[in-house]
Amino acid sequence: MQTHFTPAQLADPEVAATEQILRKCVHCGFCTATCPTYVLLGDELDSPRGRIYLMKQMLENSQPATATIVRHIDRCLSCLGCMTTCPSGVHYQHLIDHARAHVERTYRRPWRERFWRSLLAQTLPDPRRLRVALKMATLLRTLVRGGARRLPEPLPALLRLAPVRLPRASAPEPTAAPSAVSAGRVGLLAGCAQSVIAPQVHAASRRLLERMGLHVVEIEGCCGALVHHLGRDAHGREFAARIIAQVLDKQREGRLDAVIVDASGCGTQLKDYGHLFRTDRSLAGAAAEVSSLARDVSEVIHEHGLPPIIRRGGLEVAYHSPCSMQHGQRIDAAPRELLERAGFSVCDVPEGHLCCGSAGTYNVLQPALASRLRERKLGHIRDTAAILVATGNVGCMVQLEDAAGPPLVHTVELLDWATGGPAPAALSAVLSRSPARNE
């Protein structure tokens, strides 16, 4: 694609990087077929190629964002399916990140949008605030009962997504003493929303990694992905800088072989820290190091090998591949192979490349589109023979919770159970209905 940025514009490293990305696009349109919003809406401006034109026009002319551009950018899930499809290597992720930050700087949203975006940015990354907010949502849902649909958006979406019952925050398990033949020392990111909504995932990861002989140290806090995707890049960098500082501290105490993440949305963000801080003289090196250490938990287990299997589920499990895992980190085979090795029969979900509509805060801010994507995904899951759904991202677990369908678990919970850990609640429920399956 031809670009017409001026030398003055190109002096800004952000614009220079964007120009290089734009130049790679050859307008072929292959990406449109795998873009969830184009599949749903059939509008070129809701396809990657259409958005690329809009972003080019806005950035090349140094224009403030218009309501039309914002509408089409906001509808993008940042699922990165287009990056997997693109034969030219267009780095859409960095392009849309730049455009979202430009929108945030140049466009004044209606007050209602500002309020909700600000509330989400202040609440989701803070486990204490999130816990209070979810309790209030549960209370409100009880009060309004069937009348939730009459509430203004995005309240109905928020009430639907709030868990019926919050798991208790468990006391952190004591760090296991490093084994005499330690397989290494790793950091494990505690994260933010997952620690409130599904703390059992972190506990399962930790048990499993320790069973593999790894010495696990905790990295606390939010990675910054949630606010970054809202276009608040400075806010996102603040969170990222705290994670980087902690990793450096842990490195001073002893070598870290990896920084492990068990929510793939956060993993994609950590792997991008090197890019985020590339022009920051004080943090560029450390950020690049954290990115090089960042690994999804399934990658690490796959490389080290599972501990001995002591229980074989013998169950049909649908594997839902989160976009941040399959498109953001290009990890798809490892979780499936691990589940197979642990004795599960893995069913493919048709249209597995399409997003479920979760996408960070998308299911709150774009509830109509997110709900259509959810229904489409749930329909495909119901068409499989699966009695459980395994996935690798807490956002997908919340989005696809469906009383009428198979329950959701994190892949690592099943692997932990198969190698000696406790049964996740969803698996216990399934096994109690069909005890013969529990060998």
Residues that bind ligand SF4 (CB under 6 A): 25-31, 35-37, 48-49, 51-52, 76-82, 85-86, 88, 90, 92
Give the separation between CA 421 and CA 119, rounded to whole angstroms.
37
Identity of the residue, 92 or 344, whose beta carbon is nearer to ligand SF4 in the bound complex: 92
* Cα dihedral across residues 295, 101, 126, 378: positive or negative: negative
Tokens of 58: 């806005």
Specify whether the CB–CB gap between 207 and 421 falls below 8 A: yes
HSE-CB for 203 with a 13 A CA cutoff: 19
Query: What is the smallest separation between the CB atom of 237 and ligand SF4, expressed in angstroms?
Result: 21
Identity of the residue, 58 or 86, whose beta carbon is nearer to ligand SF4 in the bound complex: 86
Identity of the residue, 21 or 409, whose beta carbon is nearer to ligand SF4 in the bound complex: 21
Query: What is the smallest separation between the CB atom of 45 and ligand SF4, expressed in angstroms?
Result: 11
Identity of the residue, 91 or 109, whose beta carbon is nearer to ligand SF4 in the bound complex: 91
Give the separation between CA 179 and CA 269, rounded to whole angstroms.
31
Cβ contacts of residue 289 below 8 Å, gap of 6+?
Answer: 247
Query: What is the smallest separation between the CB atom of 89 and ligand SF4, expressed in angstroms?
Result: 8
DSSP 16: H
Query: What is the smallest separation between the CB atom of 339 and ligand SF4, expressed in angstroms?
Result: 26
Identity of the residue, 81 or 127, whose beta carbon is nearer to ligand SF4 in the bound complex: 81
Query: What is the smallest separation between the CB atom of 359 and ligand SF4, expressed in angstroms?
Result: 8
Query: What is the smallest separation between the CB atom of 29 and ligand SF4, expressed in angstroms?
Result: 5
Are β-strands 388-391 and 316-320 bridged in parallel, bridged antiparallel, or unpaired? Answer: parallel
Identity of the residue, 30 or 107, whose beta carbon is nearer to ligand SF4 in the bound complex: 30
Query: What is the smallest separation between the CB atom of 239 and ligand SF4, expressed in angstroms?
Result: 22
φ, ψ dihedrals at 239, nearest 5°: -60, -45
Identity of the residue, 79 or 266, whose beta carbon is nearer to ligand SF4 in the bound complex: 79
DSSP 311: -
Angle at which helix 199-211 crosses helix 297-304, to 10 degrees, equals 20
Give the separation between CA 427 and CA 204, rounded to whole angstroms.
14
How many other C-beta atoms can be found within 10 angstroms of the C-beta atom of residue 94? 18
